[in-house]
Structure 1
């Protein structure tokens, strides 16, 4: 079957090891099933996999991809939840010390077919296209959990989203506005800032700019490049929710400001099956939809990876099959 995969890591030149070609058909063990993939979205996790981050050589070749939408064995349209809990785990699967994502321990979703635990298969709402649904289980679920599960913020408060154009950032803008937050963003270019305003952001600023006033919360996925600005932008008692560090994981901690102004720093990772169901209900009830930058056939995966690596994104990149 056709798949996008990696056979050897390349930390400094990830695109050099991206392969699109034939891989063996998946085998579904007891309790698992097979999904025919129709759409799969690209995430930074896939670039990290090409670099070998979290994916050692001994697990390769590995099919990439953490989320997908497609058809189950009965032909029903479904969405694949990307977090795989260990056997017997009960409760929030993101807290399972042995949890994994597709393309880490098990073959990923960037293929014509993928084997998944039956629990990870959810009905797709008819209101969402397959391409839109494929954007939800990683980036949009991450944003939903950050805003509505972890932050403790309420509608009417001001939220700063660092990095205006990525998949999680665009989801934060759309979901935040739909829920009644005042949403500010930062972006490196006028084009990215205008794109965020077009999505509904209330104000957009250059990266690192001094804000008109301090905010109640910051949604942080960038890491090293924006961390100091995030801390300095918060009101006393404010909260940073961080779910990624695409520019580097070791920012200056700004610890004096954190304790003196009593800030909260909260980590957030992906989301649960139940939260994915809630996100789909929200999309259905409010009419909000994932922002898709470009749809490409999987045979043109390299173009999508190049766009992400170079930062040429304005929403999600989706591969179709």
Structure 2
């Protein structure tokens, strides 16, 4: 079957480690099923894999891709939950394309329990955006950020997959949303999504109850200063530095919660799918590429100019 996979590692030029070609059909252990993939979406995790981060050389070649929507053996339209129980991983689970072959292929095998029904109103390309970045944003806002009790939310570094998803979801949930970006064009697009767009470090008109933090050291002091008493600063990434200086006096004086999270549960993915279907929420898609254009899709993600998700349509 055709697939896009890591055949080597290249930290300087990750695209040079990407190979598109034939791979064996998926192995299917007991209680696993093989899904015909109709669409998948790219994440920065895929570029990190090509650099050799989180993926060991003995597992090469490894089919990349965490996210997918497709059709199960019974003909049902499904969304693939990407975390697989893995006793050999210190986290207790690994995401597809780390220890188990990923979704950038004609077919992918996953545990039967990792399949969720795709709502009829969601296209395969929209559904394929949800299991990683959008699920992470949903968990940050709901389970960790307790956004139901919040009035205002700050999203740092909007433009990337998780941050942009957080803007859309927080607006849909009726919150006042502030979002930062260094890029003026991205700030304009953020404003079109319903948020108040600001330059990084800008003073907010109010303190917020929830901060969505995926940037790290470059924005963390601003996140602390923007937080209302008792606010939750929810962290799921550190793209601009992982060792920020933290004013602990502000943390205890304001009784702030700094909470880490990653991904989400199958139940949270099911809730996210329902929310998107019931409220007509659709992912922000930067562009859709045919599977034959997978190299161009990786180049687009690697450019750093994306706004939202880069999607692969496996039917093209």
Which of the five TM-score ranges fits, normalised by the shorter chain? over 0.9
After TM superposition, the structure 1 = structure 2 runs for residues 48-67 of structure 1, keeping only pairs within 5 Å, are 48-67=48-67
Partner of 1:34: 34
Task: Map 1:130-279; keep pairs closer than 5 Å.
Answer: 130-154=124-148, 157-201=151-195, 203-279=196-272
1:258, distance to aligned residue in structure 2 (A): 2.1
What residue is the counterpart of 1:13 in the other structure?
13
Conservation of the 8 A alpha-carbon contact between 2:150 and 2:209: no
1:105 paired with 2:99, answer yes
| Corresponding residue number in structure 1 for 2:118 | 124
Partner of residue 311, structure 1: 304
State the shift of 1:155 in Å: 5.7
Q: Contact 1:82–1:120 (CA<8 Å) still a contact in 2?
A: yes
Runs of 5+ unmatched residues, structure 1? 88-94
The range that moved more, 21-30 or 259-268, is: 259-268
TM-score for both structures, normalised by structure 2: 0.94
Q: Tell whether the 8 Å contact from 1:54 to 1:104 is kept in structure 2 after alignment.
A: yes
Q: Deviation string for 1:8-44 (max 9, x for gaps)?
A: 2222221221222211111111010100111001111
**Equivalent residue of 1:226, what SS?**
helix
Q: CA RMSD in A?
A: 1.7
CA distance in 2, matches of 1:253, 1:50: 32
Structure-1 residue corresponding to 2:23: 23
Distance across 2 between alignment mates of 1:286 and 1:155: 20
State how far apart, in whole Å, the 2-side matches of 1:85 and 1:237 are: 34
Q: In structure 1, how many angstroms separate the alpha carbons of the residues matched to 2:90 and 2:113?
A: 15
Q: In the TM superposition, what whole-angstrom CA distance separates every residue of 1:264-307 from its partner, at most 9, and x where no partner exists? A: 10111111111111111111111111111100012222222222
Secondary structure of the corresponding residue to residue 225 of structure 1: helix
After superposition, what is the alpha-carbon deviation per residue over 1:212-253, rounded to whole angstroms, capped at 9, x for unaligned?
332222101122322222122212322100111223322223
1:69–1:77: 8 Å Cα contact kept in structure 2? yes
TM-score by length of 1: 0.93
Q: Deviations over 1:157-192 (max 9, x none)?
A: 110001121111121111111111111100111110
Whether 1:47 aligns to 2:47 is yes
Contact 1:236 1:263 in 2 (8 A): yes
Listed one character per residue, the Cα deviations across residues 125-163 of structure 1 (whole Å, up to 9, x for unaligned) are 110000000011111111111111111233651100011
Q: State the distance in 2 between where 1:133 and 1:153 align.
A: 23
Report the Cα offset of residue 254 of structure 1.
3.4
Quick check: 1:155–1:180 contact (8 Å CA) kept in 2?
no
| Other structure's SS at 1:26 match | coil
Residue 260 of structure 1 and its aligned partner are, at CA, apart by 3.2
Q: 1:253 to 1:156 in 2, by over 3 A?
A: closer
- Aligned 8 A contact 1:10 1:16 in 2: yes
Residue 222 of structure 1 aligns to a residue whose secondary structure is coil
CA positional deviation for 1:259: 2.7
